[in-house]
Amino acid sequence: MTRKRIKGLAYVCLIGIIILISRLAQIQLIDTEHFSKENINLLEASVRQRTKQVVIDNGRGKFYDKHGTPLTTEPRSVLILFPFLKEMDWNVEKVAEVIGYSPEQLLEQIKEAKDPVVFHDNGPVVLKDWQVEQINSLEIPGVFAVTKQFERPHQFASQLIGITGENAIELKNRYPDQNYSDQTVMGITGLEKSFDPFLIQDEQTKLVYHVDGRGGPLFGLDVKYIHPSNPFYPIKIITTLDFHIQKQLEIIADHYEMEKGGIVLLDIESNSIIANVSRPKIDEQAPYKNGGLINYMLKPQFPGSIFKTVIAAISIDYKRNSPSRTFDCSKTIHGEVDEVFDHGILTFRDSFAVSCNQTFATMAEEIAAIDPHLIESYAERFGLIDQVGWEGDVFHFQDFSQLADEERGQIFLSDTERTDPRLVRLVGIGQLNVKLTPLSVANMMASIARGGELYSVRAVSSIEYQNGTNFFSFPMDRGKRAVSPYTAEKLRQLLREVVVNPKGTARALQDLPYEVAGKTGTAETGKFVADREEQLVNKWFAGFFPFTDPKYALVVVQLDAKKETTSPISITKDIVNFLYAYDHN
């Protein structure tokens, strides 16, 4: 019996040893790069445990504005001190003299440090070129003056550019044929997501040294400078944004305490985004909170009277806008006495200026009687239904889209809506289920300003190698004609009338240094102020300027706004005044 027990115990021990050896083999030989359900890379973890490093550049491509100004990061020349300096005698007095600080201040910052530190004083201390040269000429181990990439403390156009993050599972799904590290940063939203295949990091630029179990230098004081061997990377994405304009428009939005909504500004000639403001802002601590990640300029919204521009275009083409024809603008769209707006009997031109609902509800009903698909057809011609961001083939990427987050607009949701006169009348004034993205509306205004030509919208003009040579240029896509030059000119005059007419809804814009043309809109959203019967609305202004030689197309929209919320007209005035000063500086 005793021998059987000993034999059994031996088998148990043998099985345990086999299991242990198998486990060690799994850890050290088999699953070294994909250990456990979390796919932990044990090799990388081991290296990280045995090294101390400071990343100078994470190797991911970066965004620049049209003039070459960095948008997401700022290169700064800084002093980096390694923690082993506190254990050695080094020329701290000379380093302190060069940077203009006391030796005590330098020693204090590495006193308790376990990792390399960037010398700071209410932020990183930025060095001049001569300081960098003098510090590095001292050749002190553990003391380096380098140009390090820092994230901008205040990100601009953050929803358009997007955010990055680490997600090992999604990384494998997105790039199944690549062997990227689990710590590789990838684009989650915006242009970061669209251009991720070009931006994804290759090698980091960093200062590294190996440590023993107590954190001391393992191979003496040998700090290695690791730099990618490929001089063409990381890639540079040259956007169409103007950093100074983007910054000022964000300041204006914040000045008027814009809670939800945004601003989109297009360059009419190139049909490119100069600025994209979306509110609420991204909360850096909780980016998914309160919709801060959403770029509302790319999301469909109720347009209200902005949509009357489309109805006007059809009315012109189908000759429903006779100068002698008048409309009773003292009535609502259903023929009842309008207790809010009593404009009396107006012509088509004046109806557009004061935004008479009765006129355009009537026009929409007449148009639908001609062809129930006509309204939708013209909306499509203006690019209001389809995505308007640049799409095309980029090398082996077919149907590459610059604006991956852009959504489509909508006009009708059913045949009933197309054929029921009462519902069609609501569509005619931009209500019911009509939803348009602010970007597509700005694009429509640019098309009208250009004489009826519809282009796709660019947010990026080119991709460049690190050395500045061109990798790929995104051509302007002239697309197709939305309306004839004649119709476009008639629409231009109508949009100008909104500003210059004594009763025009945008008459407050008539004394600006740039002559403005445009359309206002107020749309019911079906949402209400908490504990009140007041309905929230979308407040719009969409237009272009200067009128005689159009340069900019602009949309300002306040979403889910209360009655007392600042009018987009006030915001537009500040934008136009700024742009005039900016252009004539």
pLDDT tens-digit map of 386-427:
999 999 999 888 889 999 999 999 999 999 999 999 999 999
CA-wise closest residue to 386 among 520, 465, 477: 477
What is each CA distance from 51 to 147, 206, 227, 272, 429, in whole angstroms? 21, 12, 16, 46, 65
Q: And the tokens for 546? A: 């200067």
User: DSSP letters along 400-466, please?
Assistant: EES-TT----BS-SSHHHHH-HHHHHHHHTT-TT-BB-HHHHHHHHHHHHTTSEE-PBBSEEEEE-T
Distance of CA 66 to the CA centre of its chain: 15
Residue found under tokens 């003056």: 145
**How many domains in the chain?**
2
| Rounded (5°) CA angle 413-418-424 | 105
| Rounded (5°) CA angle 278-295-281 | 45
Question: Is 246 among the domain residues?
Answer: no
Is residue 414 part of the annotated active site? The answer reads no
Global pTM value = 0.87
Same domain, 234 and 263: no
What's the CATH number where 107 sits?
3.90.1310
Question: Is 40 among the domain residues?
Answer: no
pLDDT given at position 28: 58
Looking at 184, 210, 239, the residue that finishes a domain is 239
Same domain, 200 and 330: no
Separation of alpha carbons 388 and 413, rounded Å: 21
Same domain, 570 and 460: yes
Separation of alpha carbons 261 and 303, rounded Å: 12
Q: Please, is 517 exposed, middle or buried when counting C-beta atoms within 10 Å of its C-beta (0-12, 13-18, 19+)?
A: buried
Separation of alpha carbons 424 and 372, rounded Å: 9
pLDDT given at position 48: 46
Separation of alpha carbons 375 and 421, rounded Å: 13
| Amino acid at the residue 535 | Q
The 3-state DSSP class for residue 219 equals: coil
Separation of alpha carbons 166 and 180, rounded Å: 11
Buried b (16+ CB within 10 A) or exposed e, 462-496: bbbebeeeebeebeebeeeebbeeebbebbbebbb
Which among 194, 278, 305, 440 is annotated as catalytic?
305
Same domain, 205 and 271: no
Looking at 181, 204, 239, the residue that finishes a domain is 239
pLDDT given at position 218: 44
Same domain, 402 and 326: yes
Q: Please, is 142 exposed, middle or buried when counting C-beta atoms within 10 Å of its C-beta (0-12, 13-18, 19+)?
A: buried
Question: Residue length, the chain?
Answer: 585
Q: Please, is 208 exposed, middle or buried when counting C-beta atoms within 10 Å of its C-beta (0-12, 13-18, 19+)?
A: middle
pLDDT < 70 stretches in the chain: 1, 22-52, 206-207, 209-229
Question: Is 43 among the domain residues?
Answer: no
Question: Is 34 among the domain residues?
Answer: no
